[in-house]
Structure 1
Amino acid sequence: MESIRNTLLFLSIINKLVKFLGTFKGIPTTVAKYVYILTILPKI
């Protein structure tokens, strides 16, 4: 049971890393910047 939880946690971390690295390539980077700005501005 413990190993299943560890595996799921590991997979979720890898998934986040892949998405994070994916934002640094080409057009998704600019999209990510705009989304980041749009989410930050309302808080200021």
Structure 2
Amino acid sequence: VAEDLFTIWDWVLNEKLQICSASRSLYSAILVVPETFDSR
């Protein structure tokens, strides 16, 4: 699950927000997961 989240975030940051990996330390993000998250 963690690897999938990393892949999704990496794609969003690169493709949608145009934030390269070198400048990511300039930003912060919060991932909100509902209490009813189903980990199946």
**TM-score normalised by the chain length of structure 2:** 0.41
Whose radius of gyration is greater, 1 or 2?
1
